[in-house]
Chain A
Amino acid sequence: MTRMLAALAALALVGCSATRSLEPLEKGTGAVTASFGGPINANLGAAIPLPITSVGYMHGLDGKTNLYGAFYPTGLIFFGVPGIDVGVSREVLEPQGARPRIMLDGVVYAFAGNAGPGKPPFAGRMWFDAASTFVWPIGEHALFTSVDLFLQPGPGEFNAYLNPHVGGRARLGRVGLQLEYTWWGPWVDTQYMQAEWRGPGGYGGSTVQLGLDIQIGKKGDR
Chain B
Amino acid sequence: MSRIASLTALLALGTGCMTLDFMVFSAPTADSYDPDPEQIDPNLLDFVTFEASDGQVLHGAWYRPEGADAGRPPIIYFHGNSSNLNDLWPRIAYYGTWGYDVFAFDYRGFGMSEGPATFVGVFETDGLAAVEYVASETNRDPSEIPWMALSMGSGVAAHTNDEIDAQAVILQAMFPSTNLLADDGTGNDLPTGWFFNDEYDNLEATSNMTSPVFVMHGMLDDYINGPEYGPMVYDAAPEPKELWQPDDVAHADLFEVRPDEFRTRSLEWYGQFGSVPQ
In the complex, how many angstroms separate the beta carbon of B171 from the nearest chain A beta carbon?
Answer: 18
Q: Which of B214-272 contact A (CB under 8 A)?
A: 222-228
- Choose among B23, B187, B189 the residue that contacts A4 (Cβ–Cβ < 8 A): B23
Q: Which of B50-97 contact A (CB under 8 A)?
A: 81-82
> In the bound complex, do residue B190 and residue A192 qualify as a contact, i.e. CB atoms below 8 Å apart?
no
- The answer to whether A119 and B189 touch (CB under 8 A), given A4-B24, A5-B182, A192-B222, is no
| CB of B20 closer than 8 Å to a CB of A | yes
Interface size class on chain A is 35 or more
> In the bound complex, do residue A1 and residue B81 qualify as a contact, i.e. CB atoms below 8 Å apart?
yes
Q: B192-203 interface mask toward A, CB cutoff 8 Å, 1 = contact, 0 = none?
A: 111111110000
- Choose among B20, B191, B192 the residue that contacts A125 (Cβ–Cβ < 8 A): B191
| CB of B186 closer than 8 Å to a CB of A | yes
Q: A65-106 interface mask toward B, CB cutoff 8 Å, 1 = contact, 0 = none?
A: 000000000011111110000000000000000000000000
Q: How far is the CA of A123 from the CA of B190 in the complex (A)?
A: 9
- The answer to whether A193 and B190 touch (CB under 8 A), given A3-B23, A116-B196, is no
- Choose among A12, A115, A123 the residue that contacts B188 (Cβ–Cβ < 8 A): A12
A-B contact count (CB 8 A): 114
- Which residue of chain A lies nearest to B22 when distances are taken between CB atoms in the complex? A4
| CB of B34 closer than 8 Å to a CB of A | no
- The answer to whether A79 and B18 touch (CB under 8 A), given A5-B186, A9-B186, is yes
> In the bound complex, do residue A11 and residue B194 qualify as a contact, i.e. CB atoms below 8 Å apart?
yes
- Which residue of chain B lies nearest to A118 when distances are taken between CB atoms in the complex? B199
> In the bound complex, do residue B224 and residue A192 qualify as a contact, i.e. CB atoms below 8 Å apart?
yes
In the complex, how many angstroms separate the beta carbon of B188 from the nearest chain A beta carbon?
Answer: 4
Binds B, one of A27-35, A56-64, A152-160, A207-215: A152-160
- Which residue of chain B lies nearest to A188 when distances are taken between CB atoms in the complex? B187
Q: How far is the CA of A111 from the CA of B189 in the complex (A)?
A: 12
- The answer to whether A8 and B191 touch (CB under 8 A), given A1-B24, A77-B13, A192-B224, is no
Q: How far is the CA of A152 from the CA of B187 in the complex (A)?
A: 10
Contacts of A11 in B (CB 8 A): 190, 194
In the complex, the 5 A-B pairs of residues with the closest C-beta atoms, listed nearest first: A116-B193, A154-B189, A80-B16, A123-B191, A194-B185
Binding site for A on B (CB under 8 A): 1, 13-20, 23-24, 26, 81-82, 181-199, 222-228
Binding site for B on A (CB under 8 A): 1, 3-5, 7-9, 11-13, 75-81, 111, 113-117, 119, 123, 125, 152-155, 157, 159, 161, 185, 188, 190-195
- A-B contacts besides A13-B186, A114-B191, 6 pairs, CB < 8 Å: A1-B82, A12-B188, A116-B192, A123-B194, A157-B189, A194-B185
